[in-house]
Amino acid sequence: MTLSEENYYGEEANRMFFSVSQYKDFAKCEAMALAKIRGEYKRPMTRALLVGSFVDSYFEGTLPQFMQENPELFTRKNELKSEFRKANEIIGRVSSDPMFMRFMSGEKQKIMTFEMFGVLWKMKMDSFLDGTCITDLKIVANFRTLPLWRYDLQGAVYQKGVELVTGETLPFYLAVATKERVTDLDIFQIPQSTLDMALREIEERIGHYAEVKHGFAPPKYCGECDYCKSIKRAAIRNYNELLEM
Ligand SMILES: [Zn+2]
């Protein structure tokens, strides 16, 4: 199966390939990850996700089309909603920064597929500068919470993927801009030792996730995520257990 812009996020591609976000889904809740792959559960598109896609589409050169396809960007008066006016402001800010733009000057939304740790992977890079570096664009609330999103996992897979496809080991960067009242912006390199550690973590877990994905092992239910809540049955519980939380 050859992946393109059209089928990259499709059900068939998600069944055949692992991706960083699917791996993270499994790490969070195996049952939720599996339900997503089977098309039984969709994560709702939040405004925050949509802001990310808005800025991605600008760099890809497809913002006009993106705005046409997403009427929810606009108010009933046909004005951009405040989050997307903010997104426009962030775009203006990062566009005027030469360093930021240099990192974002690679091939956009570059898709690669490869085999790693016995499973097939797909990935889509925000900016791929052949022979130089891999950069992912992040629009975040602030810098402080950046590591919570485990972008080291993404960096590890992207770096190894490029290496397997092209033979080159490239550094991985995050081009980050914040949604703060005054936008902050910097380029963060994820150190090689951190990427190596993240890759080892993936190597240890992916075999089990692949078994669950293909029905050879039952999924674990975390019991706490939105998916688990959506399918649970009510139980009788002791009121006082809530006091211990
Ligand atoms: Zn769950």
- Compute, in angstroms, the gap from residue 24 CA to the centroid of ligand 1: 12
Ramachandran region, residue 136 (left: φ > 0; alpha: ψ -120 to 50; beta: rest): beta
Kindly indicate the confidence band of residue 45, based on its pLDDT and cuts at 50, 70 and 90: confident
- Compute, in angstroms, the gap from residue 178 CA to the centroid of ligand 1: 30
Kindly indicate the confidence band of residue 91, based on its pLDDT and cuts at 50, 70 and 90: very high
Burial of 146 from C-beta contacts in 10 A (0-12 / 13-18 / 19+): middle
- Compute, in angstroms, the gap from residue 3 CA to the centroid of ligand 1: 29
- Compute, in angstroms, the gap from residue 219 CA to the centroid of ligand 1: 10
Burial of 54 from C-beta contacts in 10 A (0-12 / 13-18 / 19+): buried
Hunting for tokens 């890809």 — which residue is that?
Answer: 60
The mean pLDDT value of the chain amounts to: 95
Instruction: Report whether pLDDT(245) > 80.
Output: no
- Compute, in angstroms, the gap from residue 34 CA to the centroid of ligand 1: 10
Percentage above 90 pLDDT, the chain: 94
Instruction: Report whether pLDDT(38) > 90.
Output: yes
CB 50 within 8 A of CB 73: yes
Question: How far is it, in rounded angstroms, from Cα 91 to Cα 56?
Answer: 10
pLDDT tens across 5-16, in order? 999 999 999 999
Question: Mean per-residue pLDDT for 238-244?
Answer: 92
Q: Which domains does the chain have, with CATH numbers?
A: 11-44+97-244 (3.90.320.10)
